[in-house]
Amino acid sequence: MRFHKTTFAIINSHAAYGEAGKKWVHILKYLKKKGFKVTWQFTKKRFHAYDIARDAVKKGAKLIISIGGDGTFNEVVNGVLSHVPQSECIPELAIIPIGTGSDFSKTLKIPRDYKSAIDVIKNGKTKLMDVGKVIFETDIKKWKRYFANVFDAGLGGSVVRIANRTPKTLGGFITFLFSSLTALLIFKRMKLRIWVDKKLVDKGLITIIGAANGQIFGGGMHIAPMALTDDGILEFLYVKNTNTFKFLAHVLSKVYDGEHLGYHNVHHYRGRELRIECDKVCLLDIDGEEEKAKEVTISIIPKAIKVKVPY
């Protein structure tokens, strides 16, 4: 098999409580063994992977490997699309999943073992995938960001804030479960108005609302088992009119198996655009990264990125 001459690896050395940084020397050795000529760089701060990916595209990278979790890959996707927003021109992307959750790689069935993940990069296929675009608004500014996996607002934003400030030594499942339980104790439902494909579909007190391109988030929660990454559609789900006890019993306890969809207070729509209006600035989660806004518009960009996945 012929490989790209220009391969660029972006490593979040702090991912998974420093596991990515510790494994990098072994990962690099195995990449070279498999025939890859690699240029690489460690991230030094939040959004640094965005800058590195953007520069790598400018320098002609044909393959960019994200080594870290969902947040690292999110920054890579944003960096690439900020420079070349046309799928015909962008480099191929690959993931070596070493993060707290690494949930998007679970949807793609990319193995967590780095040798197996590198074998996917070498022997797998290239898949064109959709991404979501989010327009954030407050009273004073407006900005955008892309996501590969899941966007959510409300409880999810609180969970991410807690998870990102919690030691990751116990792994993704325990970290996000602990963060979810903690967030439930302090979270107050949001007053929202919700549009799907420009039609007002609901309003009221909402616990959590999400737009899913991938199937899994939050350290293994199967939020949208029906989601496909290449169908040009997003799955919109939200939970309304439920208290803490009912949320625990009917949503949190069942979401790991995807059985939460049977609860009558879980609402599901499919579409190409979701617009949310909050009565005040609320916490948001985009691929495990925290944002804040008062109004958001989420839309789908079909087949926007190329990702290496198993055959």
Q: Which of 10-24, 73-87, 290-304 has the lowest mean pLDDT?
A: 73-87
Contacts of 246 (CB under 8 A, 6+ apart): 265
Q: Does 2 score more than 50 pLDDT?
A: no
pLDDT category at 49 given cuts 50, 70, 90 is very high
Q: Does 38 score more than 50 pLDDT?
A: yes
Residue 128 pairs in a beta bridge with 306
Q: For the chain, report the end-to-end CA distance as a whole number of angstroms.
A: 15
Question: ∠ at Cα 99 (106, 25), nearest 5°?
Answer: 115
Q: Pick from 155, 181, 166, 130: which is nearest to 240 by CA?
A: 155
Residue 1, pLDDT score: 39
Q: Mean pLDDT throughout 84-93?
A: 72
CA 204 to chain centre: 27
Q: Mean pLDDT throughout 71-92?
A: 83
Residue 311, pLDDT score: 93
Residue 169, pLDDT score: 62
Q: Could you report the per-residue pLDDT of 248-297, keeping only the tens digit for each?
A: 999 999 999 999 999 999 999 999 999 999 999 998 999 988 999 999 99
At residue 232, what are phi and psi to the nearest 5 degrees? Answer: 70, 15
Q: Mean pLDDT throughout 210-220?
A: 95
Q: Does 5 score more than 70 pLDDT?
A: no
Residue 83 pairs in a beta bridge with none
Q: Pick from 256, 266, 264, 269: which is nearest to 298 by CA?
A: 269
Residue 302, pLDDT score: 96
Which residue has better confidence, 172 or 74? 74
d(CA 248, CA 255): 10
Identify the CATH number of the domain defined by range 132-301.
2.60.200.40
Whole-number average pLDDT of the chain:
91
CB 154 within 8 A of CB 180: no
Q: Where are the domains of the chain?
A: 7-123, 132-301
Q: Could you report the per-residue pLDDT of 113-127, keeping only the tens digit for each?
A: 999 999 999 999 999
CA Rg value for the chain: 19
CB 53 within 8 A of CB 10: yes
Q: Which helix (H) or strand (E) holds 111?
A: none
Residue 128, pLDDT score: 96
pLDDT category at 138 given cuts 50, 70, 90 is very high
Contacts of 249 (CB under 8 A, 6+ apart): none
Question: ∠ at Cα 23 (52, 307), nearest 5°?
Answer: 50
The β-bridge relationship of strands 7-11 and 38-42 is parallel
pLDDT category at 3 given cuts 50, 70, 90 is very low
Range 7-123 classified under CATH 1.10.150.310: no
Q: Which of 28-42, 165-179, 284-298 has the lowest mean pLDDT?
A: 165-179
d(CA 18, CA 218): 19
